[in-house]
Structure formats: C-alpha cells, structure tokens
Amino acid sequence: MEPKMVRTSPLPARITPMIDGVIDSTVAANATYEQDLVHLARVAMAGRSQDVQTLVQRMSRRYQRTNETLASALRDLLRSAPSLDAPMRGFGNAAQVPLDGDSRLPLIRSDHLGPAVVPVLAPEVAAQVEQLRDEHRGAERLALSGLTPSRTGLFTGPPGVGKTLAARWLAEELSLPLLVLDLSSVMSSYLGRTGSNIRKVLDYAKSSPSILLLDELDTVAKRRDDSAEVGELKRLVTVLLQEIDDWPSTSLLLAATNHGELLDPAVWRRFDLVVDFPLPGPVELEKAISQYCGNEAPEALSFLVRVLSGSSFADAERLVMSARRRAALSGERLFDVLLGLGQDRLRLMDSATRLQIALDLVQDGDLSQRRASELTGVSRDTIRRRQREDGL
C-alpha cells in the first residue's frame, strides 16, 4: 500500500511579515545584549564599581518585558552583590566588616581571585592539605563517630612555597569564602586597641562558615619571653590563644608564617594541624615550571630545574613570567629566552656548582657535552676530565 502524500500549502501572505518582524526583533535584542555587555565590561575594567551597579539596575528594568528570566537574575545579583560594608554578604555573612577605630579602614579583606590554581606540593604536604579538605567535606560522617573536623591549621615554611595558594585552593574546594587578616591594619597605632581589632576580626569570621587566613602570624604571635617586646604585645598573644581555642568546627582557621622560630611555644600547641611547607624538590619544580610555561618549552625543563635548585615556587614563576613577557615583546622563542635567563643565574654561581650542573645534564642525556659547555660556561675538557675521574 503506497503511503499517502501530505500536501503542503504556502503560508498565507499575512504570516510572512509577522515572521520577518520576529526575526528583526530577535536580531535587535541580540544587538542590545551585545552593546550592554561591551558597556558593562568597559565600566568594570575601569574599576568604577558604583557605575557597574547603576548599569546593572538599568539593564534589569530594560529587560523586564523582553526577558523576564534575565531581568530576575540581575535583580537577584543586585540584592546579593558584595559591598565595602559587607563583602561576604553573598556567602551568607551579613555582618558589617570590622573597621579600625583610628583609620576606619577595613580590618579584613576577602580573597576573590577566581578559580584557585591547583598547588604543586610535595606528596607529604599534599596529603595533609587534602585530608584537611576531606575532613570538612565529611563532617557528617565524623559526627557519627563523635568527631569534628580539624578547626585550625598552621602552615610554616619559607616565602613562596605555596602556603597562601594552598589556603586559596582549600577555600575553592570547600566552597567557602577566604578571609585574609590585614595585619598592617590590625596593628593599631594605639597598642591597647590591637587586641580589640583582632577580636573583632575573629568574631566576624566566626559569624558564618568561612576560612580565615592569618598571614605572617609571627607579626602578632611572637614569643612572650622576648624581652624586646612590650607588655601589650605579650597580652595580645594571650588574646589570640583564647580566640583560637574558641574557634567553631563549622569554619577553618589557617595561619601562615615564614618564621616559625619566632612564634610563642603555646601557639604551636593550639593548632590541630601543623604543615611544614619545604622548598620544592626537582619533581615539584618541574611540575610547577611546566605549569608556568604552559607546556610551551618542555625541552628547557631539565635545565631550568637544575638552575633553580633550592629556589621557591615564587622564584621559578618570576623567572618564567619574565621570559614569557620578553619573548612576547621580542618575537623570540620562549625556549631561547628561558635558556638566556638561566645562563644569567648560572653566572652568579660558583664554578663547582656550574660544573655539577653540566655533569648532570650530560649524564642524564638531556644535553651533549658541547651544549652543556655553552650553557654553563664550563669547558668541554673540564667536563670530560671530571667524567673520567668519576668513571662515567
């Protein structure tokens, strides 16, 4: 049986103009969206926060009839938008940000730098940081066993090894706001107010779930037996210890210090977890440099790892970013620029260190004797002689 053919008739003449009108209105709406987006981006990049808010208000009214969903979303954004008075309001903390009594400046700032970069950490450090995350994610399971997550953690180690980055990563993983204590603001010109400032900051951070980072803890938590410190600063340590003891398990208090030896012994005992961040080893340095380079110059990795041995992540990032800027401006290959900057660092090293780097590069098969000699400034005869002495 043959299928029946369905006849289609042309659209009535009156329908065509209606369709054209819909298309024209859609195109016009898209053009309006694009114009508003460009205008909004321009104002935001100029740092004019009040103008941004005004523009969003206008957009919410403009789209009320044509796009109710968008208009509603913009109104919700305006209601929850952070301000100087309550930057964490969007996270459920409506308390007013504590201010210094003298300068009237905020005593605390929120860290909003976008998605956190996964920190490159030594395995033992990564395991401790990840457990801290897992404890807070699994707070309900811990409660079934009568346990609570670690409330406080102390990060120690030299500058530039990932302490602040780890705190930022934890905040991202736990979907909590990261609050950073501005110690320069907390230290009041009137010492009697410093303890009050710290109490206000900690009370604010405890008022809703968050992560509070006390950076450079040694600035305020020095040893109480230090004869160079006045009595007020010693009392300040006592205030800080009392506040740490009262920290709720719904939030996380982190502290970072580059000089653990300056901390009062009682401070160490108050923290549930102490994590020592060492300088990165070769494996961690290679991962970090590859991340900074964006895998653009993998052939330079082994050379840079050896040149940067004993350096921090921050040192490595500065060198790579300097090379990337220079390469972008000059049109040179990033590989060549990195090698040049590495050679600049080599010139500052003693001859024994440069010889060892040359030997390592040749022995691992990364470079020929000639290339290793060119990069390190060590003669090929010296490299050969040392290899014979070492039986290589």
Residues 253-288: pLDDT tens digits?
A: 999 999 888 887 888 888 999 999 999 999 999 999
Residues 148-173: pLDDT tens digits?
A: 999 999 999 999 999 999 999 999 99
Q: How many percent of the chain have pLDDT more than 90? A: 29
Distances (CA, A) of 227 to 28, 191, 223, 333, 391: 74, 17, 9, 56, 57
Between CA 261 and CA 270 the distance in angstroms is 16
Q: What is the mean pLDDT of residues 125-134?
A: 96
Between CA 15 and CA 7 the distance in angstroms is 19
pLDDT band at 369 (very low <50, low <70, confident <90, very high): confident
Q: What is the mean pLDDT of residues 179-189?
A: 66
- Candidates 66, 103, 61; CA nearest to 78 is 61
pLDDT band at 85 (very low <50, low <70, confident <90, very high): very low
pLDDT(24) > 80: no
The residue length of the chain stands at 392
Q: What is the mean pLDDT of the chain?
A: 79
- Candidates 307, 338, 297, 336; CA nearest to 320 is 338
Amino acid identity for residue 363 in this structure: Q
Q: What is the mean pLDDT of residues 22-27?
A: 50
Q: Residue 8: its pLDDT value, please?
A: 46
Residues 114-128: pLDDT tens digits?
A: 555 778 999 999 999
- Candidates 140, 164, 154, 142; CA nearest to 272 is 154
pLDDT(29) > 70: no
Q: What is the mean pLDDT of residues 361-390?
A: 83
Is the pLDDT higher at 104 or at 371? 371
pLDDT band at 375 (very low <50, low <70, confident <90, very high): confident
Q: Residue 232: its pLDDT value, please?
A: 61
Helical segments of the chain, H only = 15-45, 49-62, 68-80, 123-137, 139-144, 163-174, 183-186, 194-206, 231-245, 265-270, 282-293, 301-307, 313-330, 334-346, 351-363, 369-376, 380-389
CB environment 30-58: b (16+ within 10 A), e (fewer):
eeeeeebeeeeeebeeeeeeeebeebbee
DSSP letter string, 229-286: S-HHHHHHHHHHHHHHHT--TTSEEEEEES-GGGB-HHHHHH-SEEEE-PPP-HHHHH
Beta carbons of 105 and 185 less than 8 angstroms apart: yes
pLDDT band at 86 (very low <50, low <70, confident <90, very high): very low
User: Does the predicted model carry a pTM greater than 0.85?
Assistant: no
pLDDT(17) > 70: no
Largest distance between two CA atoms of the chain = 107
Is the pLDDT higher at 304 or at 222? 304
Q: Residue 23: its pLDDT value, please?
A: 47
Q: What is the mean pLDDT of residues 25-36?
A: 65
pLDDT band at 9 (very low <50, low <70, confident <90, very high): very low
Q: How large is the C-alpha radius of gyration of the chain? A: 30
Q: Which residues contact 224 (CB under 8 A, 6 or more apart)?
A: 234, 237, 238, 264, 266
Q: Residue 281: its pLDDT value, please?
A: 94
Q: What is the mean pLDDT of residues 334-363?
A: 88
Is the pLDDT higher at 336 or at 13? 336
Q: What is the mean pLDDT of residues 168-179?
A: 92
DSSP letter string, 273-288: EEEE-PPP-HHHHHHH
pLDDT band at 178 (very low <50, low <70, confident <90, very high): very high
Q: Which CATH number fits domain 108-276: 3.40.50.300, 1.10.10.10, 3.40.50.150, 2.60.40.420?
A: 3.40.50.300
Q: Which of 127-131, 141-145, 229-233, 275-279 comes out lowest in average pLDDT?
A: 229-233
pLDDT(88) > 80: no
